[in-house]
A = this chain, B = another copy of it.
Amino acid sequence: MASHIVSSYEDELKYIVRRISEMGGQAERMLQQSVTALVKGDASIAQSVIADDVILDASQREVDEKAIMTIGKRQPIALDLREIVGAIRISNDLERIGDLAKNISKRVLAVHRHPQPGQLVRGIEHLSELAIDQLKDVLDAYATRDHERAAAIRESDEQIDAVYTSIFRELLTYMMEDPRNITSCTHLLFSAKNIERIGDHATNIAETVFYIRTGQEMVTERSKGDRSASVTQKSVEQAVEAASE
């Protein structure tokens, strides 16, 4: 194979990888800002996140097209092919992270006039810090193609799920204590769920890094730490009772 062809492939791959790193930075900022907007009730920050999502969507379409063209033109195999396929998957996850941050920002506009209980806000801030750390970590693992680090990140997602489940219970408790909290708590509930799902997408990215490096899928069903889907009326009533004792 002529060396100029090899170098073209490498140039194309480098470009795609750089675009993904930019997308990663943008998704991280959008998450950070959407939570700041939620916590401060700042509608103008929320609006800027909503506007930024259009750019992230366009980046994803561009990476998609470039990657597909590269596969068609260069016929990469083995590691080279996995690099390109991995780029498509990762840009897809980053685009969805942006969507989730945008959705949190939309909720800010509905709740920002209602003061939130401090403890709840701290819970959501804590959850978002865990998600941002996880996203940073996984983007570093991608940048260094460190599949062992990627595998470790997947396990740390369980912590996010556990914190989310505890916020879920707490939000239900607040709603039961005072029905006037219900609307804003519902928006906080969806916001917390969005952050938990961002953790899932970061985990997907970790799995993709593992696949790029090893050619193997991490197929084993991960133990889901998010137990909120099985939180029952009784367990919440007990929590409410315990809280009012």
Contacts and interface: CB of A to CB of B under 8 A. Distances in A.
A11 B68 CA distance: 21
Contact of A193 (B92, B109, B190, B230): B190
A76 interface: yes
B172 A183 contact: yes
Quickly give the copy total for this chain: 2
A187 B193 CA distance: 12
A114 interface: yes
B187 A229 contact: yes
A156 to B, nearest CB: 21
Nearest to A177: B179
Interface stretch (A26-34, A119-127, A231-239): A231-239
A175 interface: yes
20 contacts: A54-B221, A71-B71, A71-B72, A72-B77, A72-B81, A75-B75, A107-B229, A109-B230, A110-B232, A111-B232, A111-B233, A114-B233, A172-B183, A175-B179, A175-B186, A182-B236, A184-B233, A186-B186, A187-B229, A189-B189
Interface centre among A103, A187, A229, A232 (most CB of B within 10 A): A229
Given A106-B230, A179-B176, A68 B54 contact: no
Interface in A24-56: 54
A22 interface: no
Nearest to A58: B219
Interface in A144-197: 172, 175-176, 179-180, 182-184, 186-187, 189-190, 193
A61 interface: yes
Nearest to A217: B61
B229 A110 contact: yes
